[in-house]
Structures are given as C-alpha cells and as structure tokens.
Amino acid sequence: MDSRHARGMKVLGSMPATSLLKNLDYSVLQQCMHCGMCLPTCPTYMETKQERNSPRGRIALMRAVADDELEVTKALSDEMYYCLGCLACQTACPAGVHYAELFETARAEVERAGVVKSTQRDFWRWLTLNTLFMHPWLLRFVGRLLRLYQATGLDRFMRRMKFFGLMPRSLAALEPQTPRIAVAFSDKLISALESPIQRKKYRVGLLTGCVQDLAFSDINRDTADVLLANACEVITPRSQSCCGSLHAHNGELELARELARRQIDAFDLSSLDAIITNAGGCGSHLKTYGHLLHDDPYYAAKAVEWDRKIKDIHEWLVEIGFRKPERGAGVAEITYHESCHLCHGQKIVSQPRQVLQSIPGLVLKELPESNWCCGSAGIYNITQPEQSRKLLDRKVACVNATQAPIVATSNPGCHLQLANGLHATGQQVTQPVTLLARAYRSETARSA
C-alpha cells in the first residue's frame, strides 16, 4: 500500500521530534512483510475490504508517520480507533509483528497530537480515564450509586417514562448496556488472607480488577475458592486499582504506567509463587508491565519479575495440575467463546477448555468462530456501536448454532457483551472458573 495516497491523509515534510511513532524502535515497524496473512483474520478488513482497515494497512500508515511522510490527522485517528485491537493479526502473523505495541503507540500519538480534541470528548476522557479509573474509592462510590439506582427499580421506571428518549441518541443507546452492579464488592467477599484447609503448596496473589470487581465480584470469589481447593493460600490486597489496560488502549500511556506502579506496589512479589488474574483483557495488559516500565529506574526490574509471575487462572490451574472435581456443576451442555486478549494476546487456548472438560457430566460444544471478536473490545461498543453490533450479531448466531443453553467466556467485557446479545433468547453467560467452583462446592454439599 502507498500510504501517501491513503484517503484523508495529509502529506508533509517533517514531524515534530516528539513524535512517539518516530521515536519507536524502527525495527518493530519494519517487521511487517505485507504478506496478507492477517487480512482474513481482521474483522474490520473483512467488513470493508479496504486496505487501510487492515493491520498491514494501519502499519503502513504508522510507518509513513515515522518516515515524515504523513501528518497525524483526524483521518489517522479515525482509522486507529476503528481498529478493535483484538490482536487476531498477531496470531496469524508469520513474522511475529507485535501489533499491540504499534496499536497503543499509534493511539498515544493521536492523543499527543490533539487532532480529535473537543469539549465533549475531552470531558468524557477526563471523567473516565483521568478520574474514575484512577481513583478506586471514587469508582466504587459511583458503583454503589448505580447499584442503588438499579435495586430501587428507578432504572425500570425511567425506561417506562421514556426518559432516555430525551437524551442524545448516542448516550441513550448506552443505557441498556449498563452492567448490573454486584450487591457486594470483592473486599467484602474475600478476606485479605485466606488459607486452604489442606496443606498449603502455593502462595498466590489475586487481582480483583475494576469492572470485574463492580459487576462480577462473585467470579472473584469463585476464583479464590478454586485456588483454595487447589492448595493455594490467597492474598488479596484491599481496594485495588485498575490495571491500566483501558488507558494504554486509549492513548494514555503515562496513566497506564502510573497504574502499573500501583499494582506492583500492592503485592509482595518475593513472597508469591504467582499473581492470578481472571480477566483475559486485563491479563494481556498485565503481562506487558516489563515493556511498559522498561525505562523506569526503580520499577524496571520489578516489572520483569511481575511479568514472570502473572498467570491467568486457567493457565495457573493447568500448570499446577489442578484437581479434577468428583461431581458436576449442574450443567449439561455449554459452549465457549474465547476472549480475544486471552487467546491472541496471552496465547491461552486449551487451558479453559481443559477446565471445562474436567467437570463430570458437562459436554463442551465447540463454538464456530470461537476466537472471532464479539465486538466488546474494551469500550469499542461505545465508540463504534454500529460495527460492534454487527460483530455481536455474528457471535450470537454462532452461539445459537450450537444450541447450548450456556456460553462461557473469560473476560468481563465479553461477558457483558454476550449477555446483552443473548438477553432475548434467555441463554446464560458464565465463566469456566465459576463452573469449576460450583463443581467443587457440590462435593462439599454431598459430603455434608
């Protein structure tokens, strides 16, 4: 692709010396061979068949910026934010292109250049990225208010009164996607230190997340129970911060670095065998702290140690040879949707299936296009609702083809997206570790 002829891209003679793409190790940009192996795996390219909407097309644009051939414009911003960041291209790429690094740097470049600044956009970014997700206490406070709003039935009343019809269409469309807030957050459900009944073999830290904590604290409790059942002592620091993935994926790399430092400080790395995450998107980002903080004189070595000890729950269970339950989980058939960042980012594919297949009486029905993005992609369903809906409809059709009453996934964003898409059919969404916890509990109930 001749990036200088890309529609809407402005050619210029030189870029500021502060250009992030220009300062990026150029060998990373050069890795792409333009072979096209990524094309059929890219949801946006398959939708439009336009080269600029493909991974190699976007890399060509990034390279043109680094080579002082293109200016950073709104058109470049639109392209980078049209990308899902699903990383399917990384799995397909024979040259090992690290697209995640390029994608995050390009979005940071867009934000640095300020080509899409507006009062409304700046306000929402300040409110979410700079405020709510930087202050755990404030995020939980807002969560409690939202819980009160839902528990009192005020949300249903507002819908009956068609209040949301008075709002701008873009905001009104978001209301049905609002997650149901948990009755109690993780700090109420999980003690700071919990020890297994049997002899302890491992000592692990447990990450509770932000959205995971607000909407799926029960899954965090399930994760702790599964770890306890497998001879792990569980350390869960209080009031944990966001991991920073939302910030890194939306061009706020400095905020992402600050959150990475907070996470590292929250755990005594030397005393832990592993740090456990149960969210695919978070886990993919959590495993990049070494790169994110490689220039930090105090945290660089700690970040490398952090990366070595971060484990997805399914990855850790298989690694330690988890105990197979003796009883079932009350579920006969299930299908499994792969979180993009779990399978493409972390390369964890077989382990969740091994967990599901270990449960007596459970039949796993393979999902067609199981690793095709569901359209959640962080906040993509908010910023690109039309494309997100198309991907969700495609995913729902695949789920329905299996005729399974339950679909399991391993990421809160996917969980919410699928639950919204399957609401009309009554099909349920859960997580593999939740079913394993349920199977372990059924053993206890039987023995009692």
Q: Give the model confidence (pLDDT) of 131-161 as tens digits.
A: 999 999 999 999 999 999 888 888 777 777 6
87 in Cβ contact with 58 (< 8 Å) = no
| DSSP, residue by residue, 360-412 | TTPEEEPPTTTTS--S-TTTHHHHSHHHHHHHHHHHHHHHHHHT-SEEE-S-H
Six-digit token string for 175: 């209301």
Give the C-alpha separation, 234 to 247, whole Å.
28
Give the C-alpha separation, 202 to 261, whole Å.
25
What's the first-to-final CA gap in the chain, in angstroms? 67
Q: Strands across the sheet with 274-277, in order?
A: 193-194, 232-235, 202-206, 274-277, 310-312
358 in Cβ contact with 324 (< 8 Å) = yes
Q: Per-domain residue ranges for the chain? A: 3-113, 118-321, 333-447
Domain 333-447: assigned CATH number: 3.40.50
Give the C-alpha separation, 246 to 128, whole Å.
10
Q: Output the pLDDT for position 170.
A: 59
Res. 8: pLDDT tops 70: no
Tell me the one-letter amino acid at 14: S
206 pairs with which residues across the strands? 276
Q: Supply the DSSP symbol for 31.
A: T
Fold of 3-113: Fumarate Reductase Iron-sulfur Protein; Chain B, domain 2 (1.10.1060)
Give the C-alpha separation, 369 to 392, whole Å.
12
Residue 171 — very low, low, confident or very high, per pLDDT cuts 50/70/90? low
Maximum C-alpha span of the chain: 76
pTM, full prediction: 0.90
What does the mean pLDDT of the chain come to? Answer: 90
Q: Output the pLDDT for position 168.
A: 58
Give the 3-state secondary structure percentages of the chain, helix then strand then coil, rounded to 5.
Answer: 55, 5, 35
Residue 176 — very low, low, confident or very high, per pLDDT cuts 50/70/90? low
Res. 167: pLDDT tops 80: no
